[in-house]
């Protein structure tokens, strides 16, 4: 593993952690500069093509999904690890489906469900775009549903 600080190719593994999605996080130390860093390994499983609302298809993009969730969680007390965990859960669910193609609606529904549990303000921010809450009445109705449930 190449050191991100000095680009040396040798490092030693200090700790190894396994997560619930089959990924492995390794804490490493460079043998040249002694800096510590983490690496994350996850299995490469096939993710389905995403069918957009206009009928076009595109590859599932983990970074694009993470960006959207980060925007919804901006200036909220949501940690980067919580966002990464949600992205991993969505990706894992898509892989478990075993389908070659999945509607973008399915991805959005998984994100909405995860954000609702993670942070209600981030959920509302995402829902404004995803559920197309175009006016204050629609937004108020969604907030009322949150408060009741």
Q: What percent of the chain has pLDDT over 70?
A: 97
88 and 62 in a single domain? The answer is yes
pLDDT digits (tens, 9 = 90+) for 89-130: 999 899 989 899 999 999 999 999 999 999 999 999 999 988
Query: Does the structure show a pLDDT above 90 at 72?
Result: yes
97 and 126 in a single domain? The answer is yes
Which helix (H) or strand (E) segment is 102 a member of?
A: strand 101-103
Residue 68 in any domain: the answer is yes
Tally of domains in the chain? 2
Q: Give the integer Cα–Cα distance in Å for 54 and 123.
A: 24
Q: Does 44 or 66 have the greater pLDDT score?
A: 66
pLDDT value at residue 44: 66
Structural domain boundaries, residue 31: 11-41
Distances (CA, A) of 83 to 35, 56, 71, 76, 122: 26, 27, 11, 11, 11
CB–CB of 24/42 below 8 Å?
yes
60 and 27 in a single domain? The answer is no
Distance of alpha carbon 76 from the chain centroid: 16
pLDDT digits (tens, 9 = 90+) for 24-40: 999 999 999 999 999 98
């Amino acid at each position: 593993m190449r050191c991100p600080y000095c680009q040396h190719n040798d490092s030693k593994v200090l700790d190894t952690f396994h997560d619930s999605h089959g990924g492995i996080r390794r804490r490493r130390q460079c043998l040249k500069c002694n800096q510590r860093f983490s690496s994350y390994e996850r299995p490469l499983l096939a993710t389905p093509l995403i069918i957009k609302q206009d009928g076009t298809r595109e590859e599932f993009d983990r970074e694009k999904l993470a960006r959207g969730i980060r925007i919804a969680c901006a200036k909220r007390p949501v940690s980067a690890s919580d966002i990464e965990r949600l992205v991993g859960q969505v990706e894992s669910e898509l892989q478990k489906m075993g389908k070659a193609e999945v509607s973008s609606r399915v991805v959005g529904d998984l994100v909405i469900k995860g954000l609702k549990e993670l942070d209600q303000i981030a959920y509302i921010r995402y829902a404004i775009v995803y559920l197309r809450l175009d006016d204050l009445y629609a937004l108020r109705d969604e907030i009322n549903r949150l408060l009741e449930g």
